[in-house]
Amino acid sequence: MPGEQGKAKLDDVARVAGVSLATASRALSTPHLLKPATLDRVRDAARLLGYMPHGAARALASRRTHTVGAVIPTLDNAIFAASTQAMQRELGEHGYQLLLGSHEYDPEREVQVTRALLERGVDGLVLVGTDHSPELYQLLLGFRSPYVLTWSLDESGHHYCVGFNNREVGARVAQYLYDLGHREFAVISGHSAHNDRARDRITGVREALLARGIELAPQRVVETSFSVQSGREALLALMQPAPRPSAVICGNDILAQGALIEAQALGIEIPRALSITGVDDMELSTHLAPGLTTVRIPTVEIGRRTAQHMLARLNGEHAEKRTELAVELIVRGSTAPPAARA
């Protein structure tokens, strides 16, 4: 009987909505193809009748599951959360659901999560970065549906990618601080193993400084986990040997926030005695005292453009092999010329 949960049929929905069976079917599988008023009528009718489409049957008929898998390094990071939310929103508007998995920077775990998503029959796959194990790339070669790498740019030209230049991120901050007059630098970074974004940002800093006659000593680079506490501990370690750095470049805002908190706890005046920078431009970075100088990453745009890229390829449309997004240096109160040169 129509109205009982799970018992209504699609033709019942079409009859109540006053549309054809084909239109009702399109409303549930490709809603972006319908006028908003028609779509609302069909959805209202489905809710009224308690209609629940049979996902397995629809997938069998269309040879699609209308799902996209995304494998990200961690769910415990607001930056990835913002990008993932934007991706889900864009995919959802076109009738797709996003299935998530995380690997905590463990290559073996990444392969396991990726294989699980592929076995579930996702129509497309999104991965973060270009630094993946040979086994995972072999999986992708056998994957007959589209995949895209994000947050980085694939220099090999073998893979579709939507991202930005992480070397440029590191180089831009180093150049800015050098131009302020800094000559004693240090870096606090996430672990660079299995993380091309962290590794490229360090490389960008090194190359920019070397081009200006400064070699970044190995002891001036601290790699650690992504947390405020880790940023504090890294800053404390960097302040022990002499000469102290006058500028600390952090791989992301979380580490920079920890470094800034620790510097203030040590009585180091920011920015007169020490300049600190981050990467991401998280909301909290605006409200710190002083505000954090950082590089703004287009996190929401990455998610949105990745979804658009995936939808285009799923629909057999053209998609650019390489989509590069711009980053922006945001200067706030945590940086200034070093005290000796001010």
As a whole number, the mean pLDDT across the chain is: 91
At residue 57, does pLDDT exceed 70?
no
282 close to 253: Cβ distance less than 8 angstroms: yes
Provide the H-helix boundaries in the chain: 10-17, 21-29, 36-49, 55-62, 78-92, 107-119, 134-142, 166-180, 196-210, 228-238, 253-265, 283-287, 299-314
pLDDT in tens, 176-215: 999 999 999 999 999 999 999 999 999 999 999 999 999 9
- Domain layout of the chain by residue ranges: 10-53, 65-164+299-325, 166-298+329-341
Pick the more confident residue, 4 or 41. Answer: 41
User: 3-class DSSP state for residue 275?
Assistant: strand
pTM, full prediction: 0.81
* Exposed/middle/buried for residue 107 (C-beta within 10 Å: 0-12, 13-18, 19+): middle
More confident residue, 30 or 4: 30
The domain defined by 166-298+329-341 carries CATH number 3.40.50.2000: no
Residue 143, pLDDT above cutoff 50: yes
Q: What was the pLDDT predicted at 52?
A: 65
Tens-place pLDDT, residues 229-249: 999 999 999 998 778 999 999
Fold of domain 65-164+299-325: Rossmann fold (3.40.50)
pLDDT band of residue 60 (cuts 50, 70, 90) is very low
Q: In what order do the strands lie in the sheet with 275-280?
A: 221-224, 185-190, 247-250, 275-280, 293-296, 328-330
With a cut of 80, say whether residue 2 has pLDDT above it. no
Q: Supply the pLDDT for residue 226.
A: 92
Within this chain, domains 65-164+299-325 and 166-298+329-341 share the same CATH topology: yes
Per-residue pLDDT at 9 = 83
Is pLDDT larger for residue 209 or for residue 33? 209
